[in-house]
Structure 1
Protein backbone atom coordinates (compact mmCIF):
# COMPACT_ATOMS: atom_id res chain seq x y z
CA UNK A 1 0.00 0.00 0.00
CA UNK A 2 1.35 3.39 -0.98
CA UNK A 3 -0.33 5.35 1.85
CA UNK A 4 -3.60 6.85 2.96
CA UNK A 5 -5.46 10.04 2.02
CA UNK A 6 -8.33 11.74 3.76
CA UNK A 7 -10.41 14.30 1.88
CA UNK A 8 -12.50 16.72 3.91
CA UNK A 9 -15.30 18.45 2.03
CA UNK A 10 -16.84 21.52 3.61
CA UNK A 11 -18.50 24.85 2.97
CA UNK A 12 -17.36 28.07 4.58
CA UNK A 13 -17.68 31.79 4.13
CA UNK A 14 -14.47 32.13 6.18
CA UNK A 15 -11.73 30.43 4.12
CA UNK A 16 -8.99 32.75 5.41
CA UNK A 17 -9.88 31.82 8.98
CA UNK A 18 -9.86 28.12 8.07
CA UNK A 19 -6.41 28.52 6.49
CA UNK A 20 -5.13 30.37 9.59
CA UNK A 21 -6.53 27.65 11.86
CA UNK A 22 -4.84 24.94 9.78
CA UNK A 23 -1.52 26.80 9.82
CA UNK A 24 -1.70 27.25 13.60
CA UNK A 25 -2.43 23.54 14.03
CA UNK A 26 0.52 22.63 11.75
CA UNK A 27 2.90 24.93 13.61
CA UNK A 28 1.87 23.51 16.99
CA UNK A 29 2.27 19.91 15.81
CA UNK A 30 5.73 20.66 14.40
CA UNK A 31 6.76 22.38 17.65
CA UNK A 32 5.48 19.45 19.75
CA UNK A 33 7.27 16.95 17.51
CA UNK A 34 5.44 13.95 18.93
CA UNK A 35 3.25 11.33 17.32
CA UNK A 36 2.34 10.78 13.71
CA UNK A 37 1.25 13.70 11.63
CA UNK A 38 0.23 14.24 8.03
CA UNK A 39 2.83 13.99 5.30
CA UNK A 40 1.22 16.93 3.48
CA UNK A 41 -2.07 18.68 2.96
CA UNK A 42 -3.65 20.71 0.19
CA UNK A 43 -6.54 23.14 0.66
CA UNK A 44 -8.62 23.58 -2.51
CA UNK A 45 -11.56 25.75 -3.53
CA UNK A 46 -14.25 24.58 -5.93
CA UNK A 47 -14.29 26.80 -9.02
CA UNK A 48 -17.86 25.72 -9.80
CA UNK A 49 -19.43 26.25 -6.37
CA UNK A 50 -18.64 29.30 -4.24
CA UNK A 51 -17.83 28.62 -0.59
CA UNK A 52 -17.19 24.89 -1.26
CA UNK A 53 -13.74 23.64 -0.23
CA UNK A 54 -11.77 20.44 0.01
CA UNK A 55 -8.72 19.69 2.10
CA UNK A 56 -6.69 16.67 1.01
CA UNK A 57 -4.51 15.26 3.79
CA UNK A 58 -1.90 12.59 3.05
CA UNK A 59 -0.63 10.17 5.70
CA UNK A 60 2.04 7.47 5.54
CA UNK A 61 -0.56 4.85 6.50
CA UNK A 62 -4.15 4.37 7.64
CA UNK A 63 -2.84 3.44 11.08
CA UNK A 64 -0.95 6.72 11.41
CA UNK A 65 -4.03 8.64 10.26
CA UNK A 66 -6.18 6.95 12.91
CA UNK A 67 -3.56 7.57 15.60
CA UNK A 68 -3.46 11.23 14.53
CA UNK A 69 -7.27 11.43 14.63
CA UNK A 70 -7.31 10.11 18.21
CA UNK A 71 -5.09 12.93 19.49
CA UNK A 72 -6.80 15.56 21.69
CA UNK A 73 -5.30 18.43 19.67
CA UNK A 74 -6.72 16.96 16.47
CA UNK A 75 -10.15 16.82 18.12
CA UNK A 76 -9.76 20.46 19.17
CA UNK A 77 -8.79 21.40 15.62
CA UNK A 78 -11.81 19.55 14.20
CA UNK A 79 -14.17 21.29 16.65
CA UNK A 80 -12.71 24.71 15.77
CA UNK A 81 -13.03 23.88 12.06
CA UNK A 82 -16.70 23.01 12.50
CA UNK A 83 -17.27 26.44 14.06
CA UNK A 84 -15.97 28.03 10.85
CA UNK A 85 -18.01 25.83 8.51
CA UNK A 86 -21.42 26.62 7.07
CA UNK A 87 -22.91 23.18 7.62
CA UNK A 88 -21.56 19.67 8.17
CA UNK A 89 -18.29 18.37 6.79
CA UNK A 90 -17.96 15.18 4.77
CA UNK A 91 -14.96 12.88 5.05
CA UNK A 92 -13.58 10.49 2.44
CA UNK A 93 -11.05 7.90 3.66
CA UNK A 94 -8.98 6.54 0.77
CA UNK A 95 -6.22 3.97 0.47
CA UNK A 96 -3.60 5.09 -2.03
CA UNK A 97 -3.17 2.35 -4.61
CA UNK A 98 -0.70 4.07 -6.89
CA UNK A 99 1.33 7.26 -6.65
CA UNK A 100 2.88 8.78 -9.76
CA UNK A 101 5.28 11.72 -9.55
CA UNK A 102 5.46 13.73 -12.78
CA UNK A 103 8.18 16.12 -11.66
Structure 2
Protein backbone atom coordinates (compact mmCIF):
# COMPACT_ATOMS: atom_id res chain seq x y z
CA UNK A 1 0.00 0.00 0.00
CA UNK A 2 1.47 3.38 -0.91
CA UNK A 3 1.72 6.26 1.48
CA UNK A 4 1.35 10.03 1.05
CA UNK A 5 2.57 12.79 3.32
CA UNK A 6 0.94 16.20 2.95
CA UNK A 7 2.87 19.19 4.27
CA UNK A 8 0.93 22.42 4.54
CA UNK A 9 2.87 25.62 5.21
CA UNK A 10 2.94 29.40 4.93
CA UNK A 11 5.96 31.19 3.46
CA UNK A 12 6.96 34.42 1.78
CA UNK A 13 10.09 32.73 0.38
CA UNK A 14 8.79 30.63 -2.53
CA UNK A 15 12.00 30.80 -4.56
CA UNK A 16 14.07 29.72 -1.56
CA UNK A 17 11.67 26.83 -0.90
CA UNK A 18 11.99 25.76 -4.55
CA UNK A 19 15.80 25.90 -4.36
CA UNK A 20 15.82 23.91 -1.13
CA UNK A 21 13.61 21.22 -2.69
CA UNK A 22 15.90 21.07 -5.74
CA UNK A 23 18.97 20.76 -3.51
CA UNK A 24 17.38 17.95 -1.49
CA UNK A 25 16.41 16.10 -4.68
CA UNK A 26 19.88 16.49 -6.15
CA UNK A 27 21.79 15.45 -3.00
CA UNK A 28 19.68 12.48 -1.90
CA UNK A 29 19.89 10.57 -5.20
CA UNK A 30 19.50 6.82 -4.62
CA UNK A 31 19.15 7.26 -0.84
CA UNK A 32 15.70 8.83 -0.84
CA UNK A 33 12.61 6.66 -0.81
CA UNK A 34 10.14 9.34 -1.97
CA UNK A 35 8.87 8.43 -5.42
CA UNK A 36 6.91 11.56 -6.38
CA UNK A 37 6.43 15.08 -5.08
CA UNK A 38 4.08 17.90 -5.99
CA UNK A 39 4.31 21.44 -4.64
CA UNK A 40 1.14 23.51 -4.89
CA UNK A 41 0.32 27.14 -4.14
CA UNK A 42 -3.15 28.10 -2.92
CA UNK A 43 -4.85 30.15 -5.62
CA UNK A 44 -6.84 32.28 -3.17
CA UNK A 45 -4.39 32.49 -0.25
CA UNK A 46 -1.03 33.97 -1.29
CA UNK A 47 1.85 32.45 0.63
CA UNK A 48 -0.04 29.23 1.46
CA UNK A 49 1.50 26.04 0.05
CA UNK A 50 0.84 22.33 0.13
CA UNK A 51 3.55 19.79 -0.66
CA UNK A 52 2.42 16.25 -1.48
CA UNK A 53 5.09 13.55 -1.19
CA UNK A 54 4.48 9.94 -2.23
CA UNK A 55 6.24 6.84 -0.89
CA UNK A 56 5.92 3.10 -1.55
CA UNK A 57 4.92 2.54 2.10
CA UNK A 58 4.81 4.12 5.55
CA UNK A 59 8.00 2.27 6.46
CA UNK A 60 9.81 3.79 3.47
CA UNK A 61 8.57 7.25 4.49
CA UNK A 62 10.03 6.73 7.96
CA UNK A 63 13.32 5.57 6.43
CA UNK A 64 13.37 8.67 4.21
CA UNK A 65 12.72 10.92 7.23
CA UNK A 66 15.77 9.48 8.97
CA UNK A 67 18.17 10.49 6.19
CA UNK A 68 20.60 13.20 7.35
CA UNK A 69 19.84 15.30 4.23
CA UNK A 70 16.10 15.09 4.95
CA UNK A 71 16.68 16.20 8.53
CA UNK A 72 18.79 19.11 7.29
CA UNK A 73 16.15 20.07 4.73
CA UNK A 74 13.45 19.98 7.40
CA UNK A 75 15.39 22.34 9.66
CA UNK A 76 16.12 24.75 6.82
CA UNK A 77 12.53 24.57 5.60
CA UNK A 78 11.19 25.54 9.01
CA UNK A 79 13.35 28.67 8.83
CA UNK A 80 11.61 29.61 5.56
CA UNK A 81 8.12 29.11 7.00
CA UNK A 82 6.13 31.89 8.64
CA UNK A 83 4.61 29.39 11.10
CA UNK A 84 5.20 25.70 11.90
CA UNK A 85 4.28 23.40 9.00
CA UNK A 86 1.34 21.01 9.39
CA UNK A 87 1.92 17.34 8.49
CA UNK A 88 -0.78 14.87 7.46
CA UNK A 89 0.16 11.20 6.95
CA UNK A 90 -2.15 9.26 4.64
CA UNK A 91 -2.42 5.59 3.69
CA UNK A 92 -3.63 5.31 0.10
CA UNK A 93 -6.73 3.10 0.04
CA UNK A 94 -7.84 3.89 -3.50
CA UNK A 95 -5.92 5.27 -6.46
CA UNK A 96 -7.19 5.42 -10.01
CA UNK A 97 -6.66 7.42 -13.16
CA UNK A 98 -9.82 9.10 -14.44
On whether the aligned pair clears a TM of 0.5, the verdict is: yes
8 A contact 1:29–1:37 mirrored in 2: no
What SS does the corresponding residue of 1:9 show, helix, strand or coil? Answer: strand
Aligned match of 1:10: 9
From 54, 57, 63, the equivalent of 2:53 is: 57
Aligned match of 2:18: 19
Distance across 1 between alignment mates of 2:19 and 2:97: 29
Distance across 2 between alignment mates of 1:93 and 1:10: 15
Distance across 2 between alignment mates of 1:28 and 1:99: 30
Aligned match of 2:73: 77
Q: CA RMSD in A?
A: 0.9
Can you list the C-alpha shifts for 1:44-68, whole angstroms capped at 9, x where unaligned? 0001211000000000000000011
Offset at residue 12 of structure 1 (A): 0.3
TM-score normalised by the chain length of structure 2:
0.95
5+ unaligned residues in a row in structure 1: which ranges?
Answer: none
From 52, 61, 64, the equivalent of 1:68 is: 64
What SS does the corresponding residue of 1:98 show, helix, strand or coil? Answer: coil
Distance across 1 between alignment mates of 2:85 and 2:93: 25
